[in-house]
Structure 1
Amino acid sequence: MISQGILENFDDIAFACGSGATAAGLAVGNYLNGSKLKIHALFVGSDAEFCKAAVNQMLHDVGLTDVRSEDMVDMIESPENQGYGVYTQEDLDYFIQVGIDTGVIVDPTYTGKAVKFLVQEMNNHPDRFKGRRVLFLHTGGVFGLYDGKMDNVLKEHEMTNRVKILYD
């Protein structure tokens, strides 16, 4: 992305954070490349203290002992986060609406929660972000869609982004 000049189009990078591995990788890459992007880890499965410790350990492991995770990553905890794999009916409706509006499928375990939280943060705390050009990294998580909990929500909407839902 750097060699293609893509990152010049963004001020911030945001992503769902569970274990801290993505945060550590992006922090190290951003630091070593001298990038001026602001990195935001949106906690959806664990608490910030756990991830800070994990990222700090990973930084130490690669020889970056003069920096701390707190200096490299904006670690954002949602007061609404119920924990890993826990979500409400309202959350499921929101995730479906994201798919309808954007064509991007988000799972209820990680990515959907992070998208919802990112939008809330951008609306309620815009000063937290370096700019308005935020790149959201979709890290996958589609397996959270296979537990059947989204089935009824999909049937209620009948149409999702011009794709007809077929009933059994």
Structure 2
Amino acid sequence: MKYLVRSDAVLTDAVFLVVRICIGAVFIAHGWDKVVNQGVAQVAPGLGEMGIPLPELSAVFLAYGELIGGALVLLGLVTRVGAAVLAVNMVGAWVFVHSGAGLMQQNGGFEYVMVLAAINLLLIAHGPGRFSVDGVLADRLGGGSAAGAERTRRVADSPAGAPK
């Protein structure tokens, strides 16, 4: 019955790896296009036409946020920071670009940016999982390993919190 509300940790972490790779690749591709193919200076006028405030600064945040944030999410390196930048970008796109067109993307709606924002919020809340640079660093620093969890449990179960 518990599997209706909880899943196996290894399976969950494997799925988070797949999600991070997919989302990271999408954002890297969009960021690369803005930085390398179009050029950030060419992105800014379009943002201004859409009514986005401070279009020159917004273009830099958007382009490099997608490129670097996507790479961070893909690698699982300071994942929550990368995901937060991407979520802010998507909420901005939702509010400034797509909100007036309804839900459906075919009509210019916000469904795509809404889903991307939601996935990044999930990464912020859950973290990247063990199959990530963050997970490896946490294990090495004692913050994410099974041994660290066991030490925490032993201390919590001991009288007056003394280590066993």
- Bin of the TM-score, shorter chain as denominator length: under 0.3
Q: TM-score, normalised by structure 1?
A: 0.26
* Bigger share in strand: 1
Higher normalized contact order (CA 8 Å, seq sep 6+, divided by chain length): 1
Q: TM-score, normalised by structure 2?
A: 0.27
Structure index of larger Rg: 2
* Bigger share in helix: 2
